[in-house]
A and B are shown apart, each in its own frame.
Chain A
Amino acid sequence: NAGVTQTPKFRILKIGQSMTLQCAQDMNHNYMYWYRQDPGMGLKLIYYSVGAGITDKGEVPNGYNVSRSTTEDFPLRLELAAPSQTSVYFCASRASTDTQYFGPGTRLTVL
């Protein structure tokens, strides 16, 4: 049981490039989340999903897209990377209880 896994761990992008951050969970959780954490700040919700095929915007969705074709996977897409997207990205999932389980994070730098 791996919990929540994220790939890659680190990535450096050039301005304007695109990439997909991968997130997978093996706990059969319906709810999944993407957060970003900037230095000295709390976690801000980018997008979330309440089940396969259903996604919704969080607090800071601009510049990102998501899809949820399976229960296990919830990839986050950056289409035109900007320096403001330099951050640490965390994926999380939960079942019907309120405890969210987090992945180890992806550290992204946009230069």
Chain B
Amino acid sequence: DQQVKQNSPSLSVQEGRISILNCDYTNSMFDYFLWYKKYPAEGPTFLISISSIKDKNEDGRFTVFLNKSAKHLSLHIVPSQPGDSAVYFCAARVNYGGSQGNLIFGKGTKLSVKP
């Protein structure tokens, strides 16, 4: 069973517009969420994170929103740029039992930003 779900395999937006990538989770024990960005033939790179005690975190063009009651988070990119074209992974931190700090990843959403 998937504990972290990214239901949109792909998303296409126009340069300059907003990109919204969504992520749902099922485990209420997750207490920290991260977004990673991955270009082809490279490893994932950390983008932005949010603690479960917050509902928003901003870093430049990137903002992550967390709705705990809905077990939903979203990544907003404004304005979108062609260099943002990549696969974006949502990840949730496991912080119980013996697995402190381990991450569970969604399947990813491929973002294409068209000039």
Contacts and interface: CB of A to CB of B under 8 A. Distances in A.
Tell whether A pairs with B.
yes
Contacts of A33: 102
Contact of B44 (A40, A48, A90): A90
A58 B103 CA distance: 10
Contact of A43 (B42, B89, B93, B98): B89
Contacts of B60: none
A4, A31, A42, A90 — most chain B CB neighbours (10 Å): A42
For chain B, give the interface size range.
Answer: 20 to 34
Interface of A: 4, 31, 33, 35, 40-45, 48, 56, 58, 90, 92, 94, 98-105
Given A42-B89, A98-B93, A48 B43 contact: no
B41 to A, nearest CB: 7
A35 B105 CA distance: 10
Interface string B96-114: 0010011111111000000
Contact of B34 (A4, A40, A99): A99
B93 A45 contact: no
A102 B45 contact: yes
B4 interface: yes
A94 B34 CA distance: 14
Contact of B107 (A41, A58, A100, A103): A41
Nearest to B44: A102
A34 to B, nearest CB: 12
Given A40-B9, A42-B4, A90-B43, A100 B98 contact: no
Q: What 6 A-B pairs have minimum CB-CB distances, sorted nearest first? A: A102-B43, A42-B105, A43-B105, A42-B107, A99-B46, A102-B44
A105 B43 contact: yes
B36, B102, B103 — most chain A CB neighbours (10 Å): B103
Contacts of A40: 9, 107
